[in-house]
Amino acid sequence: MRYTAPSNTHFTLRQELVGVLGRYQDTLCPAELLAVSSQLVGNLIALQDETRMSPETAMEIVLQNIEEGNRAAIADLEETTDAA
């Protein structure tokens, strides 16, 4: 699978989604936010055109981006800890 560098639109969308989740951080626990977000990802997978993307390819995209999200979160935490 080819790697596509994120565009400014990708970054903007991600920030907007994080902002929406942040509005619920006081009323939903992290596990609930994860559950709801996962359901959304499931919806997006189901909406893929199977003539253009196989379910396996969709899941590979999800897994690669989960890994990237984990790397970014760890880097952010390390940066915050180093700055303190």
Tens digits of residue pLDDT in 50-68: 999 999 999 999 999 999 9
**Structure tokens that stand for 69 in this block:** 């999200």
**57 CB-near residues (< 8 Å, 6+ apart):** 1
pTM: 0.80
Say how far apart CA 74 and CA 45 lie, in whole Å. Answer: 26
pLDDT range class, residue 48, cuts 50, 70, 90 = very high
Q: In 1-84, where do the E strands start and end?
A: none
